[in-house]
Amino acid sequence: MAEPRALSDYLDRLGAALNSDPDLAARVRLEVACHLQDAADAQGGSAEAMAIAIERFGPPVWLARQYTGLSLLRRATRLSGSFLLIAGAMFLAMRARGLFPVHPLAAVSSQVQFLQAVAFSIDKASFFAAVLLAAAGCIVVAAGRFLAPFRRRSEAHFRGWAVLSWIMLGPLVLCVVADVTLVFARLPGAAIGLPAAVSLLSAASQIGLLAITIVIVRNSLRRLEETQF
């Protein structure tokens, strides 16, 4: 019989080295356990056979590093895709508001008109900037597929991608602030009805989507910092 303690200790150290990605750690633990058990059984299944199999497999930290690039690539793919999906959802929210425009009951002052024009320009420019940066993030992730086998290069690559993730948030925040400003600049002089309700729902959904984006980015980058290169 193979000694279970040696295998358990090895798998625990391997899981600890992959703790930044629990799903990956669980899969790798199962795969490695099967390989080591098969290797030990092929040599008689003794404790010595298991020790030899573990020694040949290599240190758990070294083994975990072989999966680091793939783990980061998967996380980066999810984050970049989330950015594009959230940008698309924000666009739909803005389009929904356009289908039910708010018509003021009284004439709007020139100051309010100027504020609305500035906010609309900022809103449009920042939205397209956010989409372009999200697309650039997808390109960076695609480049990571070629760098994943090279640990040192992939580390620098994904840390650069982390910086880009924070940069992508800037235009998105500016877009939401400008859009919400537009909504609340138009509502005071508008009639109560479906258009006003749609505008409020659109603004609330954009704020919610922005909050979700910030949480996703923060969690992804926190796990990046926990990753052992």
Q: Which CATH number do you get for residue 166?
A: 1.20.120
Tally of structural domains, the chain = 2
Q: Is the pLDDT of residue 105 over 60?
A: no
Mean pLDDT, range 105-133, rounded to an integer = 75
User: CA-CA distance, 137 to 85, in Å (whole number)?
Assistant: 13
Domain housing 73: 69-226
Model pTM score: 0.64
- When comparing pLDDT for 213 and 135, which is higher? 213
pLDDT at 107 over 70: no
My answer on whether 170 and 116 are in the same domain is yes
Residue 222 has pLDDT above 80, yes or no: no
Residue of higher predicted confidence among 149 and 85: 85
163 and 117 share a domain?
A: yes
* pLDDT score recorded for residue 191: 65
Q: What are the DSSP calls for 143-205, one per residue?
A: HHHHHTTSHHHHHHHHHHHHHHHHHHHHHHHHHHHHHHHHHHHHSTTBPSSHHHHHHHHHHHH
Q: Are residues 49 and 85 in the same domain?
A: no
Q: How many residues in the chain? A: 229
Residue 2 binned pLDDT confidence (cut-offs 50, 70, 90): very low
- pLDDT in the model for residue 109: 65
Query: Is there a single domain that holds both residue 153 and residue 82?
Result: yes
Could you read off the pLDDT of 28-52 as tens digits, one per residue? 888 888 888 888 888 887 878 888 8
User: Would 64 be classed as within a structural domain?
Assistant: no
Q: Which range among 45-49, 70-74, 151-155 shows the weakest confidence by mean pLDDT? A: 151-155
- Residue 213: predicted pLDDT: 86
Identity of the amino acid at 84: L
Q: Are residues 81 and 188 in the same domain?
A: yes
Do 102 and 131 share a domain, yes or no? yes
Does residue 48 lie within any of the structural domains? yes
The verdict on 38 and 96 lying in the same domain is: no
Q: In terms of domains, do 177 and 95 share one? A: yes
Torsion angle of C-alpha atoms 116, 118, 119, 122, degrees rounded to 10: 160
Q: What is the pLDDT of residue 190?
A: 64
Q: Are residues 113 and 19 in the same domain?
A: no
Is residue 63 in a domain? no
- Helix, strand, coil percentages (3-state) for the chain, rounded to 5, are 85, 0, 15
Examine the domain organization and report whether 13 and 52 are in the same domain: yes
Mean pLDDT is lowest, of 19-33, 163-177, 189-203, for 189-203
Same structural domain, 51 and 94: no
Burial (Cβ within 10 Å: 0-12, 13-18, ≥19) of residue 106: exposed
Half-sphere CA count of 128, side-chain side, radius 13 A: 5
Q: State whether 169 and 93 are in the same domain.
A: yes
* pLDDT at site 228: 55
Tell me whether residue 146 is in a domain.
yes
What is the pLDDT averaged over residues 51-77?
78
